[in-house]
Amino acid sequence: MKLLKLLLILLIALVLVGYLLPTKYDISQDIVINAPPEAIHAYVGELKVWPQWTPWAEMDPGLTVNLGPVTTGVGASQSWTGDSSNGELTFTTCSVEQGIAYDMAFLMDGERVPAQGAIRYAPVEGGTQVTWSIQGDAAESTPPIVAGYMTLAMPMMMRGMFEDGLGKLKQVVEQPGG
């Protein structure tokens, strides 16, 4: 009987904590690339070359990316299906000097999970600081209890992916002829 009470108290505590946790997230990772923004933008602003540096295909061998009719500039888009996720992405801003911003949605169980992302450039000593970020509210598509816990886990998952992608972007841009 004591074990049952303890489990019930634990369950109630998990539910209450889940409701109290924040559901909004804002995650970013940056790197300095020894190149001007226009050299970086050649890889970031053109969806056709994203496979050269983004980490997604290595993480999901079943990934299939379908490019939209426009692959660079505002309105450039792509969609993807894979073993671990499905989704779509559309550029909302695209600037050689400042970078890109995009709206995206993960498609899970018939639900759209929206997010906004950006890859921004800023001149710094030694090159260009490139910052990859994503923002959203997990409660838009997930029950509040689960959304709070998801928001806690997202930084660990996303920062590693961004770090891998930015590291590859640095290699591609800085290589001779890159």
Alpha-carbon separation of residue 10 from 13, 16, 123, 145 (angstroms): 5, 10, 50, 14
CATH of the domain at 115: 3.30.530.20
Q: Is residue 11 part of a domain?
A: no
Q: Which residues contact 19 (CB under 8 A, 6 or more apart)?
A: 144, 145, 148
pTM for this predicted structure? 0.86
pLDDT given for residue 111 in this prediction? 78
Segments of the chain with pLDDT less than 50: none
pLDDT given for residue 130 in this prediction? 98
Its domain, for residue 27, covers 23-174
pLDDT given for residue 9 in this prediction? 80
Length of the chain in residues, anyone? 178
pLDDT given for residue 170 in this prediction? 97
- Alpha helix segments (H runs only) across the chain: 2-20, 37-44, 56-59, 144-174
The two structure tokens encoding residue 172: 């591609």
Q: Is residue 170 part of a domain?
A: yes
The two structure tokens encoding residue 7: 């489990």
pLDDT given for residue 30 in this prediction? 96
Q: Is residue 101 part of a domain?
A: yes
pLDDT given for residue 178 in this prediction? 62
